[in-house]
Amino acid sequence: MSILSPSPARVVLLCGPSGSGKSLVSARSGLPVLRLDDFYKEGDDPTLPLVAGSSDIDWDHPESWDAEVAVTAIVELCRTGRTDVPVYDISLSARTGTEAVDVGRTPLFIAEGIFAAEVITRCQELGVLADALCLSRGPVRTFRRRFLRDLREGRKSVPFLLRRGWRLMRLERSIVARQTTLGAYACDKDEALGRLAAAAVGRRPAATPAPTPTT
């Protein structure tokens, strides 16, 4: 009698502006989670981009993130259920070690982070994508949530957080527009949880009009 291997897992890519609630939705889904923020480049990397007209590193630019290594980890999780990933300390802008991520035999897991949309096409090409979602809650609400979180966690200095916060608030609608152009579906928390539940049982929900973010 032959023993069938478990079917490969698939990934839901969960993106959205910083502070839009990706970690909250991921936790409430009950699915295994891969944190894509752990694939940031280190602070001394010479390829890091700068904010235009400033000496600040632009941590919201895709070039501050290692997409190739992230995709490798996603594919390995899909095919084997396990991979080793960096442990990244945002306050230090540095990788402080590695850890194993094990999704077991689950058929679905979430990869969440502000750059998740950057790898939608690649994951489609590799046949591992189940869905791609972009959370949107409105610039003012996102600004408030992001600032309080970053302040509580001591991610960066207060002046840096304020400069970054105001800049991202002004750019939020264009960030969401870019991520949807890359293939993510814009939705709020409740709809995201519904689509995750549908993907978990192998059913892709019909597209519905994306909500209009409110201020």
Euclidean distance between the first and final Cα of the chain, in Å?
A: 61
Residue 203: what pLDDT? 62
Q: What is the mean pLDDT of the chain?
A: 87
**What three-state secondary structure class fits 5?**
coil
Q: Is the dihedral of CA 75, 10, 120, 88 positive or negative?
A: negative
- What band does 141 get if pLDDT is binned at 50, 70 and 90? confident
> Is the whole model's pTM more than 0.85, yes or no?
no
Return the minimum-mean-pLDDT range out of 32-46, 124-138, 150-164.
150-164
pLDDT digits (tens, 9 = 90+) for 147-182: 888 788 887 888 888 888 788 788 889 999 999 999
| Average confidence (pLDDT) over 54-81 | 95
